[in-house]
């Protein structure tokens, strides 16, 4: 079926990227994007957060991380003020 659609600039940029990356035509890119967007959620690829072990150091008080970050930020601010920045 032939129809006229007005695409916004950001959408057109995404389609152009897809066309170049997959070496496909404009028609194929539009159809693929619409199919992916309209596919039921249960058939879409599920997001899975990857986690990595960062090790454990008993000398670091992890329950006080925000307090430590605040202290480091205060020290950096004082250093910048002393340097006249």
Residue-wise pLDDT for 24-42, tens only, equals 999 999 999 999 888 876 6
- 14 burial level (CB within 10 Å; 0-12, 13-18, 19+): middle
Question: Is the model's pLDDT at 15 over the cut of 70?
Answer: yes
Per-domain residue ranges of the chain:
9-42
Query: What is the model's pLDDT at position 38?
Result: 87
Q: Three-class SS string for the chain? A: CCCCCCCCHHHHHHHHHHHHHHCCCHHHHHHHHHHHHHCCHHHCCCCCCCCCCCCCCCCCCHHHHHHHHHHHHHHHHHHHHHHCC
**Residue for token digits 């066309």?**
19
pTM: 0.47
Residue-wise pLDDT for 36-78, tens only, equals 888 876 666 778 899 988 888 888 888 888 998 999 999 999 9
């Amino acid at each position: 079926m032939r129809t006229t659609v007005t695409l916004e600039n950001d959408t057109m940029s995404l389609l152009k990227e897809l066309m170049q990356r997959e070496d496909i035509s404009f028609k194929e890119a539009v159809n693929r994007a619409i199919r992916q967007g309209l596919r039921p959620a249960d058939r879409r690829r599920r997001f899975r957060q990857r986690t990595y072990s960062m090790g454990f150091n008993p000398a670091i008080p992890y329950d006080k991380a925000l307090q430590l970050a605040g202290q480091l930020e205060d020290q950096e601010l004082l250093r910048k003020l002393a340097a006249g920045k």
